[in-house]
Structure 1
Amino acid sequence: MSGLETLQPRWTGAALGRRAAGLILPRRTDYAGLSRSWRRDLVAGLTVGIVALPLALGFGVASGVGATAGLITAIVAGLVAAVLGGSHLQVSGPTGAMTVVLVPVVARYGPEAVFALSILAGLLVVVMGLVGMGRLVSVIPWPVVEGFTLGIGVIIFLQQVPLALDTPRAAGENAGLVALATLGAAEPTRAAAPLAVTLGVIVLMLVLGRVRRSLPASLIAVVLATVVAEAAHLPLARIGALPSSLPAPAFPSWNAEALAAMFPAALAIAALAALESLLSARVADGMVEEVPNTDADRELVGQGLANMASGVFGGMPATGAIARTAVNVRAGARTRVAAASHAVVLVVVVLAAAPVVALVPTSALAGVLIVTALRMIDLGTARSILRSSRADALVYLVTVAVTVVFDLVVAVQAGVAVAAFLALRAMSRVSGLRRVAVPEIDAAEEDALLHEHIAVYRFHGALFFGGTKQFLDELTAVKDVHVIVLVLTDVRMMDASGANALTEIITSLQRRGMTVLLKGLDPDQLRVAGAVGALGAIGDAHYFHDLPAAVAHARQHVRHELHGRSVPDCAAVAAR
């Protein structure tokens, strides 16, 4: 049976159905250990719910969709992802990174488009999980992840300028240009009170964080700012009325032309949802040893379904939230009940405290989000990367710059591309070709003279498209040699370009009357070399697994060239 035939059953409808069911349906093992940890899980859920409330409201307002959408997202997406996701500790909801993507979408298409985008992006994330793309996040370099995080922090900070000044957001999609235009349009007398509230929230959160990290600093700061604003009758923009219950599910109106126009935005949202969720889950896995690691593909499916559910209920796209997930773990969470109960806490807020929440000044939420942004800007990590190597520093700076100037998905693509280019350049530099002495098979004087006409070259490193020309130039410059033995045992990687260059080397040397013998490819490299014609160029009898056998055959060729003797059939030797 061929390799293709063995793979075919995996892609039958029944097999795909079983895979989808395995990734979607909850399992009993999801709640292993709950009998021992349920108290800690409930306390952790309450703690995260308190932390998540101002963030959900703030991200909803900052994205332009509204505080209600942010709260619905935290409830619906948080619950669905907790139950169906692949992480036992992940807390999902609206995040700053998603806000960065949504602001230009809302500016271009309006808030209503976000609901349809959430469903479409969620469907794309589900497909990513079903086809096994969950492992791709492991190949993203650390400088890219950190540059991406710093860039998000800068953009979140800039996006709070309109809220902090109670000034309408200027037109545009670039956060820096919008912030500058908003500053220019702000009226100093009107902006003084909201700016004072924003600064007060920032100072209070930073002080409370230093006094005791376990305090819900954001909630305390928002409550105090609301009390002061009400008592002093400050002229501030407020969140406004919230629903006293969750809205009924409803599919947004589908417009084929509009969806086609918004598909690139949906793709960007899906890529961001997948990337941030898997990064957050990886952080959580590293914080606790006794909890099973995240099933990456199942996490994608769960996050995709969470986004679809959020859109159906009138919410915005969601991802795994690194900060809330970290709070969840530190508060003692050990099963997914903690993340699910955080959504229940937010439901209680909607049912019992909606009139009070409506009084919260949006400038207070701006202060909360500015502190969130500042905590994402890790100067210690930035210094470490910038001092590590020029290549890592370049990757980091490119990722930060592209994140701020363009968008997050382009930034990750650019960062990975630069990192890959620099890695290939480094690999080509450490790869090489050197001439080594011909092994002495015996002490015969004739053999010593024969060896003068044999050259043995040993490759090391990688034989790939990035470094083959130098090898070609070096080998084709060889003179006064009848046989060249190429030892490839130390080649760690060979792609099709490297194999093709090897074919060119062999063909060029043979045109000059030299015989080329190969030794030492592993099975995968042998398959690539055979596919592009390298083995056909030398013939089966000129490939060896043993260097002494190759040298013995080379001596026979030299004898033939010097004395006209025939070269024996060495197929048996080559087969060893």
Structure 2
Amino acid sequence: MRFPTFRPRLVECLHGYNFGQFRTDLIAGITVGIVALPLAMAFAIASGVPPQAGIFTAVIAGFIISAFGGSRVQIGGPTGAFIVIVYGILTEYGAANLALCTIMAGVILLIMGFAGLGQAIKFIPYPVTVGFTSGIAVLILSTQIKDFLGLDLASVPSGFLDKCAALGGAIGTTHLPTAILATASLLLIIFWPKAWTRIVPGSVVALVLGTVAVALFELPVETIGSRFGGIPEGLPPLQVPEFSFSGLTALIQPATTIALLAAIESLLSAVVADGMIDDRHDSNQELKAQGLANIICPLFGGIAATGAIARTATNVRSGGRTPIAGMTHAVTLLLILLVAAPLAKSVPLATLGAVLVMVAYNMGEWHQFKRLLKWPRSDAAVFLTTFALTVLFDLTLAVEVGMVLAAMLFIKRVADTSQITPVSPETDTEGVQHSLQGKDVPDEVQVFRILGPFFFGVADRLETALKRAQREPQVVILRMRKVTAMDATGLNALENLYEKLTQKHRHLVISALQPQPYRAIKKGGLLDRLGPENVCPDIDAALARAKAILSQK
């Protein structure tokens, strides 16, 4: 019996660790910490919580995910993908229940990790992933229009269509200084030289210059201080949210949504990182670390966290190669919080809005819309459906429907590749060893060839093929050499065929069963009913058995 393990990659990385690598990790961690600061605040504000909640999350989750995760270079913290989900839960259930949802999501992630479900995430089809990612990008963009333009709007509806109507109705209240500052910040981020990005990203420069401009010129724009009253210096004390067991059931669905998105995004980020450093992460250990982070973060005022693709890539490009870099990034943010928290009062929300507009643009897979005509129509339909449901309804429904659609289309594709056809010495195209060519097949014997998996999407074709043959042979041979897998429906189809033939005093012989189908008929009891002598290793033995049956009549 294998017991669940808990082995962070940090343990492995510390073997042979030296000062040279520490120096590189230290520089990378400080760089990522600086990059993460404006993003953490922007994600928190867009999610409907104070900016410090994003910083608390980046500090606590960033440290835990790096220290206990399954990737060498993963950077954890709040991400843009959670904005819509966190905002929706906060609006519908309140702040206390948001914390409970996040803790429950952490428990779900822990269970997934210890249950070995990390590899299951790879079964989510690409069109589904791209569809909901692009949908989330559109939603993030829609949440930033108010702060980007400085609209005079007391509240913004959570529904996308209602939100668009409200924003459109308030477009005439655009605040010119805010719009100019936001546009200037966005242009700076866009046109910031890529060669300089490794030293200091454009988003950080925009944040600093925007803050300085507000302080020096006393620009009449909304800031963190005017809306939230500033950021506290240091982490808050431990606070366990109150709850009742009866009320937890209503939170299962949103908690599952958080867990699902955290798992998908963190493992996608880890895969991207693997490609950048030629490594392979431990997906189950990564889920365990994500679970721990999401359990602990809400106890200290944080929100949902996961692996962040952009910050992880920045870590790698800056030279980070071990979890020490990610832990340094968290410590850097904590030091900034302790030393420079009062300066955050002057950070303009317009600049943070510009940062998130750029995040949304980079997050969306916009080039895939151009490729839709080149995709198979079924994949394009899954992509567009997932995208539309994400934007118009919610992520959970989008992923569920997208997965069901993708599964149904996959089943259809597999079924289309499977064949059940009658064969004869004149029509058989198998190789010499397995072909009927040149072999004596009595008129009372008919051979059917099954190609591909014999499962519920194909099983009904067996009876159809027999009816189309318009013959009443005394012996039916099923050649199943190319059937690699068979499910319960396929087994049931064979049992039904056996019973119908037996009622008419006819016989069934099966040829060249593969290991899995053989185990299925043995375990299901069909082998005993059929008789081992009627399950033959190859077509020659099956024909010999058929002739022996005919000779007994």
**TM-score normalised to the size of structure 2?**
0.91
Rounded to whole Å, the distance in 1 between the matches of 2:324 and 2:181 is: 36
* SS of corresponding position for 1:23: coil
Note the C-alpha offset of 1:458: 1.4
Rounded to whole Å, the distance in 1 between the matches of 2:499 and 2:324 is: 66
1:454-474 deviation digits (Å, cap 9, x = unpaired) = 111111111111122222111
Q: Is the 8 A contact 2:76 2:307 kept in 1?
A: yes
Note the C-alpha offset of 1:432: 0.3
Rounded to whole Å, the distance in 1 between the matches of 2:11 and 2:365 is: 39
Unaligned runs of 5+ in 1: 1-8, 442-446, 562-576
Identical columns (%): 36
Q: Is the 8 A contact 1:436 1:458 kept in 2?
A: yes
Q: 1:254 to 1:231 in 2, by over 3 A?
A: same
Unaligned runs of 5+ in 2: 434-438
Structure 1 vs Structure 2 CA RMSD: 2.3
Q: Is the 8 A contact 1:161 1:179 kept in 2?
A: no
Note the C-alpha offset of 1:156: 0.9
1:471 aligns with 2:462: yes
* SS of corresponding position for 1:489: strand
Q: Is the 8 A contact 1:104 1:172 kept in 2?
A: no
| Letter aligned with residue 358 of structure 1 | K
Q: 1:410 to 1:386 in 2, by over 3 A?
A: farther
Note the C-alpha offset of 1:349: 1.0
* SS of corresponding position for 2:346: coil
Q: 1:107 to 1:165 in 2, by over 3 A?
A: farther
* SS of corresponding position for 1:160: helix
* SS of corresponding position for 1:516: strand
Rounded to whole Å, the distance in 1 between the matches of 2:372 and 2:330 is: 37
Rounded to whole Å, the distance in 1 between the matches of 2:405 and 2:382 is: 6
| Letter aligned with residue 306 of structure 1 | A
Picking from 14, 17, 21, the partner of 1:34 is: 17
Q: Please name the residue that 1:554 is paired with.
A: 546
| Letter aligned with residue 248 of structure 1 | P
Q: 1:475 to 1:131 in 2, by over 3 A?
A: same
Q: Please name the residue that 2:511 is paired with.
A: 519
Q: Please name the residue that 1:460 is paired with.
A: 451
* SS of corresponding position for 2:71: coil
Return 509-518 or 45-54, whichever deviates more. 509-518
Picking from 235, 258, 270, the partner of 1:281 is: 270
1:369 aligns with 2:356: yes
Q: Is the 8 A contact 1:169 1:182 kept in 2?
A: no
1:217-250 deviation digits (Å, cap 9, x = unpaired) = 0011111122222333222221121111111222
Picking from 163, 173, 182, the partner of 1:178 is: 163
Rounded to whole Å, the distance in 2 between the matches of 1:427 and 1:147 is: 23
Q: Is the 8 A contact 1:500 1:533 kept in 2?
A: no
Q: 1:192 to 1:533 in 2, by over 3 A?
A: farther
Q: Please name the residue that 1:109 is paired with.
A: 93
**TM-score normalised to the size of structure 1?**
0.88
Note the C-alpha offset of 1:477: 4.0
Picking from 216, 229, 233, the partner of 2:214 is: 229
Rounded to whole Å, the distance in 2 between the matches of 1:25 and 1:375 is: 30
Mapping of 1:160-309 within 5 angstroms? 160-166=144-150, 167-168=152-153, 170=155, 172-185=157-170, 188=173, 191-209=175-193, 212-214=196-198, 215-240=200-225, 241-289=230-278, 291=279, 293-309=280-296
Q: 1:367 to 1:27 in 2, by over 3 A?
A: closer
Q: Is the 8 A contact 1:170 1:179 kept in 2?
A: no
Q: 1:168 to 1:131 in 2, by over 3 A?
A: farther
Rounded to whole Å, the distance in 1 between the matches of 2:414 and 2:213 is: 61
Rounded to whole Å, the distance in 1 between the matches of 2:309 and 2:365 is: 14
* SS of corresponding position for 1:492: coil
* SS of corresponding position for 2:484: strand
Q: Please name the residue that 1:444 is paired with.
A: none
Q: Is the 8 A contact 2:139 2:391 kept in 1?
A: yes
1:156-176 deviation digits (Å, cap 9, x = unpaired) = 111112322344463543234
Mapping of 1:49-448 within 5 angstroms? 49-166=33-150, 167-168=152-153, 170=155, 172-185=157-170, 188=173, 191-209=175-193, 212-214=196-198, 215-240=200-225, 241-289=230-278, 291=279, 293-384=280-371, 386-437=373-424, 448=440
Q: Is the 8 A contact 1:62 1:163 kept in 2?
A: no
Note the C-alpha offset of 1:256: 3.3
Mapping of 1:10-21 within 5 angstroms? 10=2, 15=3, 19=4
Q: Is the 8 A contact 2:128 2:402 kept in 1?
A: yes
| Letter aligned with residue 240 of structure 2 | F
Q: Is the 8 A contact 2:10 2:72 kept in 1?
A: no
Q: Please name the residue that 2:527 is paired with.
A: 535
Q: Is the 8 A contact 2:146 2:153 kept in 1?
A: yes
Note the C-alpha offset of 1:61: 0.3
| Letter aligned with residue 334 of structure 2 | V
Rounded to whole Å, the distance in 2 between the matches of 1:78 and 1:169 is: 34
Rounded to whole Å, the distance in 2 between the matches of 1:501 and 1:385 is: 39
Return 511-520 or 531-540, whichever deviates more. 531-540
Rounded to whole Å, the distance in 2 between the matches of 1:261 and 1:163 is: 32
Q: Please name the residue that 2:436 is paired with.
A: none
Rounded to whole Å, the distance in 1 between the matches of 2:154 and 2:79 is: 20
* SS of corresponding position for 1:34: coil
Q: Please name the residue that 1:569 is paired with.
A: none
Return 362-371 or 33-42, whichever deviates more. 33-42
1:482 aligns with 2:474: yes
Q: Is the 8 A contact 2:25 2:319 kept in 1?
A: yes
Note the C-alpha offset of 1:551: 0.8
Rounded to whole Å, the distance in 2 between the matches of 1:412 and 1:553 is: 52
